[in-house]
Amino acid sequence: MATTLITGGTVVSATGRGAADVLIDGETIVGVLEPGSVLLGTNLAESADTVIDATGKYVIPGGIDAHTHFELPFGGTEASDTFESGTRAAAWGGTTTVIDFAVQTTGTRIQDGLARWHAKAEGNCAIDYGFHQIMGGVDEDSLKAMEGFAAEGITSYKMFMAYPGVFYSDDGQILRAMQKAADLGLLTMMHAENGPAIDVLAAQLVEQGKTDPYYHGIARAWQMEEEATHRAIMLADLTRAPLYVVHVSAKQAVQQLAWARDNGKNVFGETCPQYLYLSLEEQLGASSDEWGAFEGAKWVCSTPLRSREEGHQDHMWQALRTNDLQMVSTDHCPFCMKGQKDLGVGDFRKIPNGIGSVEHRMDLMYQGVVTGQLSLERWVELTSTTPARMFGMYGKKGVITPGADGDVVIYDPNGHTSIGVGKTHHMNMDHSAWEGFEIDGHVDTVISRGKVIVDGNRYLGAKGDGRFVKRGLSQYLI
């Protein structure tokens, strides 16, 4: 088996940092050693097949993006990244594992959805991948199917309080699924927005001629997120099901989570880079020569971007510091403007929902370190270690330790990354939600199960390198 030695770097974990060399044998980390170690009389730097000099750089566990949607059918079209293009872009950005959502839409069989997702992903991924299961309708069949999830390595599932007629479950359905999840030790993930009320608000706005993307953010008011978050918390509390609220964007929803956690409830929250950086006013309300006020469609996602005047973005950063939110995923769900987002010209309700960020998450979150809002350790914890623990992969993923998979990123704090104007990214999109962002730091080297897949500006990965990860139960169950 080929060995790789990473020398001279600062190894960063969720709990500390220090100078160390990392030895990978084949696919597995076998040593985290004193710099310049001699093992059994052998100087490792001379005997390793490959030696990578990480002097002046951080050596971190590969990023884990626990929320992606590759090839998701949505709004009459399909998310534009395939498993092939999406995992390649993720690799470029220092992410070595993704968890995508296998989909059951209302009225279809859950087992068919999972089989379809395996067929889409198998043999096409550049990095390892797992699945959560979307439950698009709770009935006797899907409740029964939940009993088989854990054996398939799918230990978390998502329900929607939004999107009536597509993915929506009502409170009675949610209650029944949570009862079952509590019995089985599954983690319930929730899209917490009051969908039926939002649909009424959206229809009223369109009737008034308010059809631009900006009104997507008005219809999906923060009150609708706060209310649904509270309802999800109480249903989870009653059923004793652990709860993970996805893509939290409203400060009032964070306050609900903080209140619940302070009162001993087993609830968790994820936010996404878009809710830390972007806003209702600047992005959803944007206009351009090319698109006019439809420019804002680039940033139509749900939950929506929130008002900067109301201070949601600052509150998200604060919540990441105080652990009121525990993780940052992307909710990567890309659509091109031409032929996809433009389905909603004249009616924001028809704009497919989603933003593409899978390539930029590690860089964007590193800016929190640069600005002093996050420690290096917290950066690693939010983007890799907690996702591994939350979703039953820790030990193999999320940490640099003997026995772990050789998923390692070498990050150069002195590098610079321009998310420039034009196509400087590798996602399959005709625009970027992050155009113009200047990043301090650069993903230099990405190693996936012992194989160097990104080396500076060279891509060395291949489709089919990535394997399905059968996940164990969440470490956050109590």
Work out how close the CB of 191 gets to ligand URP at its nearest, in angstroms, rounded to a whole number.
5
- Quick note: the x/- pattern for ligand URP over 146-185, rule CB under 6 A, is ----------------------------------------
CA nearest to 327, candidates 156, 448, 203: 156
Q: In angstroms, rounded to a whole number, what is the distance separating the alpha carbons of residues 373 and 379?
A: 10
> 296 or 334: whose CB is closer to Zn ion?
334
> 81 or 405: whose CB is closer to ligand URP?
81
Work out how close the CB of 75 gets to ligand URP at its nearest, in angstroms, rounded to a whole number.
9
> 182 or 343: whose CB is closer to ligand URP?
343
What is the number of alpha carbons within 13 Å of residue 448 lying toward its C-beta?
Answer: 30
Verify binding: residue 349, ligand URP, rule CB under 6 A. Answer: no
Verify binding: residue 333, ligand URP, rule CB under 6 A. Answer: yes
CB 467 within 8 A of CB 405: no
> 331 or 381: whose CB is closer to ligand URP?
331
> 295 or 465: whose CB is closer to ligand URP?
295
Burial class (CB in 10 A: 0-12, 13-18, 19+), 258: middle
Residue 262 neighbours by CB under 8 Å, 6+ apart: none
Verify binding: residue 20, ligand URP, rule CB under 6 A. Answer: no
Residue with tokens 């909710």: 331
Q: Which stretch binds Zn ion (CB under 5 A): 73-81, 273-281, 368-376, 449-457?
A: 449-457
Work out how close the CB of 246 gets to Zn ion at its nearest, in angstroms, rounded to a whole number.
5
> 58 or 168: whose CB is closer to ligand URP?
168
| C-alpha distance from residue 99 to each of 77, 86, 106, 356 (Å) | 21, 12, 22, 15
Residue with tokens 């220090």: 18
Partner touching 353 among Zn ion, ligand URP, none, CB below 5 to 8 Å by kind = ligand URP
| DSSP-assigned beta bridge partners for residue 417 | 439
Work out how close the CB of 331 gets to ligand URP at its nearest, in angstroms, rounded to a whole number.
5
Partner touching 301 among Zn ion, ligand URP, none, CB below 5 to 8 Å by kind = ligand URP
| C-alpha distance from residue 6 to each of 37, 62, 163, 442 (Å) | 12, 14, 47, 17
Per DSSP, the three-state class of 301 is: coil
Looking at residue 305, the DSSP 8-state letter turns out to be P
CB 41 within 8 A of CB 56: no
Per DSSP, the three-state class of 278 is: coil
Evaluated on CA atoms 186, 198, 136, 428, the torsion sign reads negative
Q: In angstroms, rounded to a whole number, what is the distance separating the alpha carbons of residues 361 and 155?
A: 24
Partner touching 283 among ligand URP, Zn ion, none, CB below 5 to 8 Å by kind = none
* Size of the residue set binding ligand URP (CB under 6 A): 9
> 267 or 351: whose CB is closer to ligand URP?
351
Work out how close the CB of 403 gets to ligand URP at its nearest, in angstroms, rounded to a whole number.
33
Give the type of residue at 202.
A
Residue with tokens 């209140």: 259
CB 402 within 8 A of CB 31: yes
Partner touching 398 among Zn ion, ligand URP, none, CB below 5 to 8 Å by kind = none
Binding to ligand URP, residues 246-275 (CB under 6 A) = 247
Partner touching 136 among Zn ion, ligand URP, none, CB below 5 to 8 Å by kind = none
Q: Tell me which of 81, 295, 331, 407 binds ligand URP, using CB under 6 A.
A: 331
- Quick note: the x/- pattern for Zn ion over 168-197, rule CB under 5 A, is -----------------------x------
- Nearest-5° angle of CA 473, CA 477, CA 478? 140
Work out how close the CB of 220 gets to ligand URP at its nearest, in angstroms, rounded to a whole number.
10
CB 385 within 8 A of CB 394: yes
Verify binding: residue 302, ligand URP, rule CB under 6 A. Answer: yes
Q: Tell me which of 44, 250, 257, 301 binds ligand URP, using CB under 6 A.
A: 301
Residue 46 neighbours by CB under 8 Å, 6+ apart: none
> 248 or 333: whose CB is closer to ligand URP?
333
CB 253 within 8 A of CB 281: no
Q: Tell me which of 57, 180, 191, 306 binds ligand URP, using CB under 6 A.
A: 191
| DSSP-assigned beta bridge partners for residue 42 | 39
Q: In angstroms, rounded to a whole number, what is the distance separating the alpha carbons of residues 338 and 292?
A: 14
> 182 or 218: whose CB is closer to ligand URP?
218
Q: In angstroms, rounded to a whole number, what is the distance separating the alpha carbons of residues 94 and 99?
A: 15
> 10 or 357: whose CB is closer to ligand URP?
357
Residue nearest to Zn ion (CB): 191
Binding to Zn ion, residues 297-356 (CB under 5 A) = 331
> 279 or 448: whose CB is closer to ligand URP?
279
Verify binding: residue 69, ligand URP, rule CB under 6 A. Answer: yes
Which chain residues interact with Zn ion by CB under 5 A?
191, 331, 457
Which chain residues interact with ligand URP by CB under 6 A?
69, 191, 247, 301-302, 331, 333, 353-354
